[in-house]
Amino acid sequence: MTKIHLDTDIGGDMDDVCALAMLLKWPDLDITGVTTVSDEQGRRAGYAHYVLSLVGRADIPCAAGADVAGGYYRYELGYPPDEENWPEPVTPRPGAPDEAVSLLKRSIEQGAVIVAAGPYTNLMLLEKKYPGILKQADLLLMGGHVFDIPAGYPRWGNEMDYNIQVDMLSAHSVLKHANPTLVPIAVTCQTALRRAYLPRLAQAGRLGELIVLQAELCARSEHHEQIYGETCPGLPNDIINFLHDPLACAIALGWHEGVEIETVPLKLEIRESWLYEVPDSDGVPTRLVTKIDGNAFNEYWCDMLCR
């Protein structure tokens, strides 16, 4: 049975909920753990536990990891209003970051692929406590801005690479000490949670109902249909949000439609507090997802949730 561990900053952008929901629907999958990063006294861990409980999976180990009080993050992190984003109050589940580090270690020892769908702070703490462990890990990182984004999609620069740039020092450490596969924003920005999916999702049980609730709030507050749907011909005009984290998880589990992975030598450079991953013949060979079929993935994700 395939094993996966999700390290997530669930509770901000709704794509983390979309990723965890997809994993809970994925056939023959052992979720060995869920850890939260950039947490705030267990707030994100509470959200993760709530999603797990919707489908009776409170048995999956879940732990709060690195907290914002640790001073790791570039700026204060925000959340959508709880009363609009969740159907009922969610109880925080605080814990010591060492618990999350231990859970990550156990998942690596069990042979699980580790998917980092948020900042890489927990992975930095893991390597700090157990030097050399990241080299042993089957690690997939959502993040990176190596090549320009193709025409027809958002013209995002390096500063939009949230997972790496919001905690640049941890990202720099992890990329130095691991052998990851990167799923960069140049490919994840080719995905879309579409308004057309909402009627089907609304019939897809409690997970689907939660995604519809959060999608409707996202549509009202983020206006992606106007910002991206009307200006990016590569994206559907009814885009509500991107599916960054679900795509990373799916690739980690073997989804391959239109997927191309290249080994690119990368050199890390820090310039004025920003981290750059620069193709360089003297760099470290790094597995990089360079192409996907975004429309195929959008449909795949929706079908998985609605199966």
CB 182 within 8 A of CB 147: no
Strands 274-279 and 260-271: antiparallel
pLDDT tens digits for 233-285?
999 999 999 999 999 999 999 999 999 999 999 999 999 999 999 999 999 99
| Measured CA angle at 158 (ends 241, 185), to 5 deg | 40
Q: Which amino acid is at 88?
A: E
Average pLDDT over residues 49-75: 97
CA distance 242 to 13: 9
Return all residues near 71 (Cβ < 8 A) that are at least 6 apart. none
CA distance 269 to 276: 5
CB 11 within 8 A of CB 38: no
DSSP class of 37 = S
pLDDT tens digits for 15-27?
999 999 999 999 9
3-state helix, strand, coil in the chain (%, to 5): 45, 20, 35
DSSP class of 67 = B
pLDDT tens digits for 148-166?
999 999 999 999 999 999 9
Q: What is the pTM of this model?
A: 0.97
CA distance 211 to 169: 33
CA distance 231 to 217: 21
CB 33 within 8 A of CB 106: yes
- pLDDT higher than threshold 90 for residue 1: no
Strands 2-8 and 62-64: unpaired
pLDDT tens digits for 169-199?
999 999 999 999 999 999 999 999 999 999 9
Strand (E) positions, the chain? Answer: 2-8, 29-36, 62-64, 113-116, 138-142, 181-183, 193-194, 239-241, 260-271, 274-279, 284-291
Q: Please, what sign has the CA dihedral across residues 90, 93, 94, 96? A: negative
Q: What b/e sequence results for 149-183 when a residue is b if at least 16 CB atoms lie within 10 Å of its CB, and e otherwise?
A: beeebbeeebeebbbbbbbbebbbbbbebbebbbb
Architecture of domain 2-306: Alpha-Beta Complex (3.90)
In this prediction, residue 225 has a pLDDT band, given cuts at 50, 70 and 90, of very high
pLDDT value at residue 48: 98
CB 300 within 8 A of CB 246: no
CA distance 167 to 122: 11
- pLDDT higher than threshold 90 for residue 104: yes
CA distance 307 to 302: 8
CB 2 within 8 A of CB 253: yes
pLDDT value at residue 273: 93
Average pLDDT for the chain: 97
For the chain, the structural domain boundaries read 2-306
CA distance 7 to 110: 16
CA distance 87 to 153: 33
Helix and strand numbers, DSSP H then E, in the chain: 14, 11
